[in-house]
Amino acid sequence: MSIRIGEVIGVQGIRITLRIDEDSNHEVLFYEGQKYKGVSIREYISIQRGFRDIICIIEGEYLDESRVESSNGKLGYIRKVEARPIGFFDTDGFQQGIKFMPMIQDPAYLLPESKIASIFDRSKAGDNFQIGKMLKEDIPVSLPWRRLFNSHIGIFGNTGSGKSNTLAKLYTVLFNNKLHSIVGKSRFVIIDFNGEYTGNQLAPNTEKIVYSLSTRPLKDTEQQNNKSVFPLESDEFWDTETLSLLFQATTNTQRPFLNRVIEGRRRYEKSNDSINAYAKKKFRDAFCAGQPKAATLDLMRTIARVANNQELIQALKNVNWHSLYSKFFQGNIYFNTDGSEYDKNILTTVDSLDVSTLDAFDQLIIRVNLQLIGDLINGYVQFDHIQPLLKRIESSLVSLRRVISVGDGVAIEKLVTVISLRRCNNEIKKVLPLLFAKHYYNSHRHTVNTPPDKTMHLIIDEAHNILSQQSNRESESWKDYRLEQFEEIIKEGRKFGVFITVSSQRPADISPTIVSQLHNFFIHRLVNERDLFLMDNSISTLDNISRSLIPGLAQGSCVATGTAFELPMLLQVDRLPHDKQPASEDVNLEILWS
Ligand SMILES: Nc1ncnc2c1ncn2[C@@H]1O[C@H](COP(=O)(O)OP(=O)(O)O)[C@@H](O)[C@H]1O
Ligand SMILES: [Mg+2]
């Protein structure tokens, strides 16, 4: 049946010792037309126990010191190997797990490569979902795509280890094989921090829409090629949650404040009263309230400036605060609570204020300032708690306006949506992915049936940009909020058919809650101790031998493990053809400097 190599001479726990016949010490053997690998570390052998073949992996090899005399009188050594069972073949094929143990004197055989392949290749006949070959055996294997794509996937490895290639290969093969049966049922959204997927990658251009967002002004040529602004619907923008995350509002005071802004807008919309009337009322309150507040003057000035109303700007310049009387004055005119001075001196100027034609972003500035005027006068809030929010809104609007539009159509729906943030500043890179994740998660969640009749796949390359726990540039509470949002998607998403694929060069920095929720992993070369420690601790399916190989993996080699795989598998991922490769190639100095 196969090449006999020796027999079991010891069983201790799950550790099996075998005596190996000396002459089977070759690297490759051929027997009856089948190819076999010789006995060495990390190879597989089969031990016959009744009608079952117990499959073991070889983990150690040594010589026994005692000499033996063989039948022809020559002296020799006994070669021993240690092995660990990983599963068995019975009439149903390969079963993973230690259920049967060999006994002393059971014979051991080499495994033909075709049989090794059948241990790892658990796909159905004709699946042909190949992204590469088994590293050592060089046998192509088909991945169990059914179980892989309905799980959260992690792709880890140092920079340049081949993560982007693996990620792209995975989805390229998926779309090559299944494009027609997927379109209309599933959507794939790629958050692309480095602009690696904006060309021909992944799917045919007819099925792909690219948003290349840029916080820098675009050159004309760039504008034509891609969509450069992501359209949000008005309702989605005027939403407490959206505004809170765009402007990193704190939960305790700033978020309730934004909520009042949104609620106020909603009420006004219904009563058909215009934002202008609202503004004029608040100006009057600011001057004539029972207890006017000094801080409201600055807010009114901001409104005049944003509305670009020169007359009003000028008028407010001449207004001052009298701290002893606690009221505003202009020259020798004091604005009293009865409003008579206001009516005489300011009213007509304020009446010229028109903010109704401003775009959504400017209207937002107007509304938050008006809200704060009202809240200050009523003593609802402390100026110092809200003012940082207002400053943040004003300062981020310049870049925000370049990358999103409000009430200007809806995002185009294609099978694959790539959102490139390559040309965005750091602040936008932190905030927008969360917005997009929410956008797609919510829109999917609200239209899906149970059980899910369609799926949404959120793919984040270089995910440490947003899932990292170490970051001292942002406030703790905002960081918690950001991570919580993703944790929710990853925990709850499965129910709605939302799946996440994350790739990262620094897995140890990613929130452990997120890593522990991932089901399947492609682990490329990692050398950092902390990363390896994390792999050890959060991936239950990773075995010691595979783990020990991770620091030494070559470009494109990875350990594939997780719930979709029976056993950890060493894979050499195929390199994609040039035009399908992620645009991440190392700089070629030989060409550059020639
Ligand atoms: N499977 C592979 N086989 C051969 N070379 C590869 C493979 N994957 C990546 N490379 C090489 O490594 C470089 C970096 O790969 P990339 O996928 O961008 O790594 P990462 O995303 O981990 O930084 C690629 O430009 C390519 O030259
Ligand atoms: Mg990459």
- Residue 528 alpha carbon to ligand 2 centre in Å: 17
User: Is 98 in contact with 85 (CB distance < 8 Å)?
Assistant: yes
- Residue 123 alpha carbon to ligand 1 centre in Å: 26
Rounded-to-integer distance, Cα 138 and Cα 558, Å: 14
Residues contacting residue 277 through CB under 8 Å, at least 6 positions apart: none
- Rounded (10°) angle between helices 476-496 and 426-445: 30
- Measured from the CA of 168, which atom of ligand 1 is nearest? 17
Residue-by-residue pLDDT tens, the chain, 594 positions? 678 888 999 999 889 999 888 665 677 778 787 778 778 788 888 999 888 899 998 888 888 766 666 666 666 678 888 999 988 988 878 888 888 889 999 999 888 888 888 887 766 666 788 889 888 778 888 888 888 999 999 999 999 899 999 999 999 999 998 888 888 899 999 999 998 998 888 998 899 999 999 888 776 655 555 688 899 998 899 999 899 988 988 888 899 999 999 998 888 765 555 788 888 889 888 888 888 888 898 999 999 999 999 998 998 898 889 888 888 888 888 888 888 888 888 888 888 888 888 888 999 999 999 999 999 998 888 989 999 999 999 988 888 998 999 988 888 889 999 999 998 988 888 889 999 999 999 989 988 888 888 999 999 999 988 888 776 666 777 778 888 888 999 999 989 999 999 999 999 888 888 888 999 999 999 999 999 988 888 888 888 888 888 999 999 999 999 988 878 889 999 999 988 888 876 677 888 888
Q: Which protein residue has the closest C-alpha to ligand 1 atom 2?
A: 556
**What residues flank ligand 1, with Cβ below 6 Å?**
157, 159-165, 555-556, 573, 575, 582, 584-586
Looking at the CA of 555, which ligand is closest? 1
Among 138, 165, 528, which is best to mutate for testing ligand 1, by the most ligand atoms less than 8 A from CB? 165
Looking at the CA of 558, which ligand is closest? 1
- Measured from the CA of 132, which atom of ligand 1 is nearest? 1
Q: What is the separation of C-alpha 211 from the centre of its chain, rounded to a whole number of angstroms?
A: 17
- Measured from the CA of 157, which atom of ligand 1 is nearest? 22
Q: Which fold has domain 146-227+412-592?
A: Rossmann fold (3.40.50)
Looking at the CA of 169, which ligand is closest? 1
pLDDT of residue 375: 92
- Residue 509 alpha carbon to ligand 1 centre in Å: 22
- Measured from the CA of 167, which atom of ligand 1 is nearest? 17
Rounded-to-integer distance, Cα 474 and Cα 459, Å: 24
- Measured from the CA of 503, which atom of ligand 1 is nearest? 21
Looking at the CA of 577, which ligand is closest? 1
pLDDT of residue 68: 65
- Residue 572 alpha carbon to ligand 1 centre in Å: 11
- Residue 72 alpha carbon to ligand 1 centre in Å: 55
- Measured from the CA of 169, which atom of ligand 1 is nearest? 1
Question: What are the domain boundaries of the chain?
Answer: 4-120, 146-227+412-592, 267-387
User: Is 227 in contact with 404 (CB distance < 8 Å)?
Assistant: no
- Residue 64 alpha carbon to ligand 2 centre in Å: 48
pLDDT of residue 178: 86
- Measured from the CA of 582, which atom of ligand 1 is nearest? 18
Q: Report in angstroms the alpha-carbon separations of 107 from 51, 100, 392.
A: 12, 15, 74
In single-letter form, the type of residue at position 587 comes to V
- Residue 200 alpha carbon to ligand 1 centre in Å: 17
Among 171, 197, 555, which is best to mutate for testing ligand 1, by the most ligand atoms less than 8 A from CB? 555
Rounded-to-integer distance, Cα 8 and Cα 456, Å: 51
Residues with CB under 5 A from ligand 2 (ion): 163-164
- Residue 223 alpha carbon to ligand 1 centre in Å: 30
Burial class (CB in 10 A: 0-12, 13-18, 19+), 268: middle
Looking at the CA of 193, which ligand is closest? 2
pTM: 0.86
**Strands of 186-192's sheet, edge to edge?**
140-141, 132-134, 569-573, 557-562, 520-523, 153-156, 498-504, 455-461, 186-192, 416-423, 208-214
89 sits in which H/E element: strand 75-90
- Residue 580 alpha carbon to ligand 2 centre in Å: 14
Q: Which protein residue has the closest C-alpha to ligand 1 atom 27?
A: 585
Nearest 10 degrees: CA dihedral of 188, 193, 198, 201?
-60
Looking at the CA of 192, which ligand is closest? 2
Reference 113, options 26, 31, 58, 53; nearest CA is 31
- Residue 186 alpha carbon to ligand 1 centre in Å: 28
Sign of CA dihedral 101, 104, 106, 111: positive
